[in-house]
């Protein structure tokens, strides 16, 4: 079953429609490409392909946009903040983000020492997780959009 809240581009939706046609053809059911597009649109909660196409064309290619309110964890410490910059890397498979935390985050676990960070930059995947990990396997940065605001 398709998750209608999943971020999807128009090209991905078209690929999904082609895959649906192939899968149905393998079971002996033949449908047109336009019918497959309509089914994909309905699975996304849209009344028809034209509506879905318009909505999907307005979806950003990056998981975060400048000005978004975000939350997550940086070096295991919870944070909230704003996105200051986003730059695509590797044809959209990764992104470099710069975040400004609402309150400084202490990134040292040692009680007798502190290192506060208010602004950080990191490379993340499309799911908002950094490629870098701590020695115990936790992602350096896990970030998700709380709201999309223009600042």
**What is the reported pTM?**
0.59
* Residue 90 confidence class, pLDDT cut points 50, 70, 90: confident
Give yes or no: residues 127 and 77 share one domain.
yes
Range of the domain at 34: 10-57
Q: Which residues contact 132 (CB under 8 A, 6 or more apart)?
A: 122, 123, 139, 140, 141
Is 78 domain-assigned? yes
Is 115 domain-assigned? yes
Give yes or no: residues 52 and 73 share one domain.
no
Residue whose structure tokens are 């309110």: 69
Is 64 domain-assigned? no
Is 4 domain-assigned? no
- Total domain count, the chain: 2
In this prediction, residue 12 carries a pLDDT of 81
Give yes or no: residues 43 and 77 share one domain.
no
In this prediction, residue 109 carries a pLDDT of 81
């Amino acid at each position: 079953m398709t998750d209608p809240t999943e971020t999807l581009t128009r090209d991905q939706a078209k690929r999904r429609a082609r895959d649906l046609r192939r899968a149905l053809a393998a079971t002996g059911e033949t449908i047109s490409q336009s019918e497959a597009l309509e089914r994909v649109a309905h699975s996304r909660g849209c009344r028809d392909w034209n509506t879905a196409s318009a909505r999907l064309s307005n979806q950003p290619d990056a998981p975060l946009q400048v000005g978004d309110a975000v939350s997550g964890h940086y070096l295991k410490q919870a944070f909230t903040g704003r996105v200051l910059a986003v730059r695509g890397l590797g044809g959209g498979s990764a992104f470099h983000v710069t975040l400004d935390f609402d309150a400084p985050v202490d990134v040292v676990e040692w009680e007798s020492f502190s290192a506060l960070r208010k602004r950080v930059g990191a490379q993340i995947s499309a799911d908002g997780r950094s490629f870098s990990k701590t020695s115990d396997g936790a992602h350096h940065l896990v970030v998700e959009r709380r709201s999309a605001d223009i600042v």
